[in-house]
Amino acid sequence: MKESLSPGAQRLLEARAIRLAAPAHEAASEETVWLATFAVGDLEVGLPLDALRAALPLRRVTPVPLAPPEVIGVLRFSGAVLPVYSLAFMLGGQPSRRDSTHLLVVERGAGRLVAFDCVQVPLATTRPAREIELARARTREGEPLTDVMLGDRVLTLVDVGRLCAVWEKKRGA
């Protein structure tokens, strides 16, 4: 068949073949970020999977009387007492322990752990690292939330350290 094609047509077809093969090769070698994704109200939320330490039943929480509305209680985890926050409230919704059935123990940075309530155990998913970097570059400095497009859906990435820092600043802690 090569004999029936002109040299120009053959070069064109070879160039197209190379171009069409390149995206599959690049996608396979592209760096990815693992995320733990779950719903918080109407939001689809993502946390870095490497920051997730445990998913536990909510019944392990001890309520704290007169605590601020974002604090659900405390949790004893690996010999430490951790604060348990309402992630829905911290993201601008209403705290609702009634809907939550699970806790997520998450590292907020420098080995410090916190826990958040959630309705479901997170699912692990990947996103291209470049996509996450570009989304974070568009986010204001110090902002704890970053929106990433997932086709026609939006995934809100939460920087747990920044989110806790924002709330500590509000409370004067």
Residue pair 106/160 in contact by the 8 Å Cβ criterion: yes
**3-state SS class at 159:** coil
Residue pair 76/8 in contact by the 8 Å Cβ criterion: no
Q: Is the pTM of this model over 0.85?
A: no
CA 2 – CA 163 distance, rounded (Å): 62
What integer pLDDT is reported at residue 171 of this predicted model?
79
* Encoded tokens for 155: 């995934």
Mean of per-residue pLDDT scores for the chain: 85
| Mean pLDDT for the stretch of residues 1-5 | 63
Percent of the chain with pLDDT over 70: 88
Q: Tell me which of 51 and 10 has the higher pLDDT.
A: 51
Reply yes or no on whether the pLDDT at 25 is more than 50: no
| Mean pLDDT for the stretch of residues 108-132 | 91
Q: What are phi and psi of 61, to 5 degrees?
A: -80, 135
Q: Which of 5, 169, 7 is nearest to 90 (CA)?
A: 169
Q: How confident is the model at residue 9 (pLDDT cuts 50, 70, 90)?
A: confident
CA 117 – CA 103 distance, rounded (Å): 5
Residue pair 113/54 in contact by the 8 Å Cβ criterion: no
Reply yes or no on whether the pLDDT at 21 is more than 90: no
Q: Which of 17-31, 38-52, 89-103 has the lowest mean pLDDT?
A: 17-31
